Amino acid sequence: MRFLTAGESHGQRLVAMLDGVPAGVPIDVAAIDRDLRRRQLGYGRGARQRIERDQVRIVGGVRHGRTTGGPIALEIDNRDAPNWERVMSVEPVIDPPAPVTRLRPGHADLAGALKFGHSDVRDVIERSSARETAARVAAGGVAKALLALVGTRVQSEVVAIGSVESAPTWDEAAVEASEVRSGDARRSAEMIAAIAAARDAGDTLGGMVALRATGVVPGLGSYAEWDRRLDGRIAQALCSIQAAKGMEFGDAFAAARERGSAVHDPIVLEGGRFARTRNRAGGLEGGVTNGNDIECRVAFKPISTLMKPLPSVDLATGEAAPAHVERSDVCVIPAAGVVAEAMLAIVLTEALLEKFGTDDAETLVASVERYRARLHPLGKRQGQGGGDLTEMP
Ligand SMILES: Cc1cc2nc3c(=O)[nH]c(=O)nc-3n(C[C@H](O)[C@H](O)[C@H](O)COP(=O)(O)O)c2cc1C
């Protein structure tokens, strides 16, 4: 499976295209719309999220609620687009808008203008903006639907906003009820207060999101080649999210300061099944899923657009000038968690299809069931009198 997105922040719409999704995956448009809504919510979002209510339109690859095996094309209209018709016109206009030239530190403005030779930073802003993450979330909805067929679920929870930290509760009802998507009511209130204080100071806040995938099929990814290692691929996908600056599997940064005996997860047998007494590895060893939940965290820098702008330079004049100010969020960590869910779901789907790749969902599910049934070698060997891995699908 592969996927691409297109579209500008204030253009007519965003587009996502997924190729390689098997036929027969049930698609619930309302579930995708729910995720799109979750991406727009959260204390600290700007006015735009109130203007727009994202909805997906599926224009290819799904018929009567099921994927057909053809490419899946998803569209999300930018409801604010009519206000930007002249600025975003595809055709040349007689009275072009004034170019954006005051570069915003922390955004792609300077790097993008240098790279593509733009003199109007609008040409950079419009595509580097995290508005694009709506298309990722819609594509992630398709991936989540496929993963559900094999019992895999992806969740996220905010575990830090600014300096306010909390442990993940994984209490889904509490997380979704919280304006900052933290299951800890006391920490939620502190996080909201921190965002309000940053807003009052004309400033912004970053934070951290915890991710968990349960029911993960063991053996996804590979240790055999660097680009097949699933930990590396998940890290790439998560760090590709706008403003994501770091991630860890399990509690990697704490583990780096400890001894191996305290860090690695002992292997035990429980009723003839392999099990672990803890999950500090975060569900991956050797770049391969080991059957434990995938647990990781992503760190996001504070929003770059500041209402009290940082010193910068004007691209057109080369003179010192405060950075451009554009309508903006104060804190997006609750939304970033929803985007991170989508990216993790997409990478897990790709890895699942690599291992069990077929053209239809029924065969995929049957292959996964057969594979899972023989992952318990003690029972299997006793029953069959020998190793049985020659039967790999
Ligand atoms: C869901 C989401 C919404 C965002 N909204 C804004 C915003 O309103 N204003 C802003 O300046 N940055 C926003 N960002 C962050 C910028 O897109 C990001 O700082 C920018 O792309 C540069 O980060 P990078 O160096 O990681 O690409 C948002 C990020 C995410 C994930």
Mean pLDDT of the chain: 93
For ligand 1, the distance from its centroid to the CA atom of residue 241, given in whole angstroms, is 8
Residue 104 has pLDDT above 50, yes or no: yes
Is the minimum distance from the CB of 303 to ligand 1 under 6 angstroms? yes
Query: Can you give the pLDDT at residue 382?
Result: 45
What pTM was computed for the model?
Answer: 0.95
Task: Provide the pLDDT confidence category of residue 385 given band limits of 50, 70 and 90.
Answer: very low
Is the minimum distance from the CB of 128 to ligand 1 under 6 angstroms? yes
For ligand 1, the distance from its centroid to the CA atom of residue 316, given in whole angstroms, is 24
Closest ligand 1 atom to residue 301 Cα is 19
Residue 247 has φ and ψ, to the nearest 5°, of -155, 160
Say which residues have a Cβ less than 8 Å from residue 48's Cβ, sequence separation at least 6: 80, 327
Query: Can you give the pLDDT at residue 327?
Result: 73
Residue 378 has pLDDT above 80, yes or no: no
Is the minimum distance from the CB of 130 to ligand 1 under 6 angstroms? yes
Residue 51 has pLDDT above 80, yes or no: no
Residue of 9, 45, 332 to mutate, ligand 1, most atoms within 8 A of C-beta = 332
Count of residues for the chain? 393
Residue of 76, 129, 133, 158 to mutate, ligand 1, most atoms within 8 A of C-beta = 129
Contact (Cβ atoms closer than 8 angstroms) between residue 214 and residue 341: no
Mean pLDDT (whole number) for 171-198: 97
Cα–Cα dist 53/77, whole Å: 9
For residue 359, the tally of other CB atoms under 10 A from its CB is 12
Q: Tens digit of pLDDT for each residue in 237-294?
A: 999 999 999 999 999 999 999 999 999 999 999 888 899 999 999 999 999 999 999 9
Query: Can you give the pLDDT at residue 380?
Result: 52
Mean pLDDT (whole number) for 324-332: 86
For ligand 1, the distance from its centroid to the CA atom of residue 92, given in whole angstroms, is 28
Residue nearest to atom 18 of ligand 1 (CA): 243
Among the residue ranges 290-299, 321-330, 360-369, the one predicted with the least confidence is 321-330
Is the minimum distance from the CB of 329 to ligand 1 under 6 angstroms? yes
CATH superfamily of 2-386: Chorismate synthase AroC (3.60.150.10)
Query: Can you give the pLDDT at residue 357?
Result: 84
Say which residues have a Cβ less than 8 Å from residue 31's Cβ, sequence separation at least 6: 141, 144, 145
Query: Can you give the pLDDT at residue 186?
Result: 97
| % pLDDT > 70, the chain | 94
Mean pLDDT (whole number) for 10-24: 97
Cα–Cα dist 103/155, whole Å: 36
Query: Can you give the pLDDT at residue 272?
Result: 83
- 243 Ramachandran zone, left/alpha/beta (phi>0; psi -120 to 50): left
Question: What sign does the dihedral 28-29-31-35 (CA atoms) show?
Answer: positive
Query: Can you give the pLDDT at residue 325?
Result: 86
